[in-house]
Chains A and B, each alone.
Chain A
Amino acid sequence: MTKAPIHPATIRILSLTALLGLWIIAAAISADATILPQPWALIGPFWKAIQSGTLPWHLWMTLTRVLWAFILAMSLGLLLGLAMGRLPAVDRWLDPWLVVFLNLPALVLIVLCYLWIGLNETAAIAAVTLNKIPSVTTIIREGARALDPGLAAMAAVFRMPPLRRLRHVVLPQLAPFIAAAARSGIAVIWKIVLVVEFLGRSNGIGFQIHLYFQQFDVAMVLVYALSFIAVMLCVEWLILQPFESRVRRWRGA
């Protein structure tokens, strides 16, 4: 008898179901809905929060912050990483900064941004962006260092103009690194965005979690957290993974 390989999507669903099962068992053991409610106990509050429009609105606020910070951190990190990977002088000067910022706790940057810029949207997005730039830079720098000198020579000999060179010679080589940075970036960014909202915003998932934390409402904390996790899983499966397999197409071909 031959065993048919299990489809990856099936494994994904099974794995998530197992997690759900674990939750149900844990909730049954604790037997206290104020500490850990059963999953089905969240459906009612979840539905109410959607109908009243509060959940979608706070979700939207958080998503825009995530998107802004993501775009800013990715583009600045890409530029810095390219410069540091290609120009040894820049690398020598900026590398100590990179180490400092990589080791600066997210919380310190957030608090400092709020203190210096004020309790506003700019400070919130700046704090998240600054937190993420160093790791994006580190990943892209690795990619920039590994650029194929043979292809660079080819582009130079045939005098390909800079923009065409960037698009067709450099970026495809960086694509796996960009995908890796995006993947780890989006995960870290949304967590930091929640902290930023928790500390100094009056809307967003982080703010709502703060609110329900003060009321000790575990159910609502879970409703908001899980809604956002669901959205981020969709981003991962519907945008990031298809993008990754597209930029890898020529390898397997």
Chain B
Amino acid sequence: MIEADIRVKSFGGAPVLRDIRFRVATGEVLAILGPSGIGKSTLLRIVAGIDSAFEGTVARPERLSMAFQEPTLLPWRTVAENLTLVHPSLGREGAVAALARVGIEDRADLFPRQLSLGQQRRVALARAFAGDPEALILDEPFASLDPATADEMLALTEGLIAGSRPATIFVTHSEPEAARLATRILRLGGRPATIRPDKEAG
């Protein structure tokens, strides 16, 4: 379970986020929507524990996985090593199997810069999905993928969430994506960004 209570987050004195409070139970999926630059990635970084310079509290489980807005792979290690260095228990076979699930097992021994951006993104997704996370944080995970691949990745994410039931938060700009994957939608708006009442919310 993830529990966030962020009173204020500022950059250089200018507040970016204010009074953002939510809770994501195991197996729940929270989608975060909002215009570019509103503070979605900032919010995810706080929830993941990367950024601790804010007022408020966040409770998160031990095993947390994240797919960043950029692939954030180690360019000097092969694709397979990028998985095994983060999840040593996976082993070489587990890494190749995880890559097979995102459809790029034939790229296991290349370096990340030899992959297209969409392929790198899928490596990052494979890394986030491996290791049986209790919490899953995804920052625009399906951007820069063609519709068919995005659909495949979406199905994969659904399968993972149904299987190990992590508490999931994901940022997206796509309403259909949010509607398909999320059990709840949270809209950010305003400056500083706050939670907007969701009219369509059921």
Residues of A bordering B, CB below 8 Å:
150-151, 153-154, 156-158, 160, 164, 168-169, 172, 175, 247, 250-251, 253
A-B contact count (CB 8 A): 50
A156 to B72, CA, bound (A): 12
Binding site for A on B (CB under 8 A): 45, 48-50, 64-66, 68, 70, 72, 74-77, 85-87, 110-111, 113-114, 127, 131
- Which residues of A lie under 8 Å from residue B110 when comparing CB positions? 253
Q: Which of A150, A164, A172 is within 8 Å of B68, CB to CB?
A: A150
Q: How far, in angstroms, from A44 to B65 measured CA to CA in the complex?
A: 70
Pair B48/A157 contact, Cβ less than 8 Å: yes
Instruction: Identify the closest chain A residue to B70 (Cβ).
Output: A150
* CB <8 Å contact, A172 and B74: yes
- Are the CB atoms of A160 and B50 closer together than 8 Å? no
Main secondary structure on chain A at its contact with chain B? helix
- Which secondary structure dominates where chain B touches chain A? loop
Q: Which residues of B contact A175 (CB under 8 A)?
A: 76
What residue of chain B has the Cβ atom nearest to residue A168's Cβ? B85
- Asked whether A253 lies within 8 Å of B111 as measured between CB atoms, the reply is yes
Determine the distance from Cα of A129 to Cα of B15 in the docked complex, in whole angstroms. 50
**How far, in angstroms, from A157 to B49 measured CA to CA in the complex?**
7
Q: Are A156 and B85 in contact (CB under 8 A)?
A: no
4 smallest CB-CB distances across A and B, nearest first, come from: A172-B76, A250-B76, A153-B50, A158-B86
With a cutoff of 8 Å between Cβ atoms, the chain A residues found around residue B50 in the complex are 153, 156-157
- Output the least CB separation between B164 and chain A (Å): 16
A153 pairs with B75, CB closer than 8 A: no
Given A151-B74, A153-B72, 6 new contacts (CB under 8 A): A150-B72, A151-B72, A156-B50, A160-B86, A168-B74, A169-B74
Residue with the greatest number of chain A CB neighbours at <10 A, chosen from B70, B75, B131: B75
- Smallest Cβ-Cβ distance to A167: which chain B residue: B85
Q: In the complex, A25 Cα to B77 Cα: how many Å?
A: 52
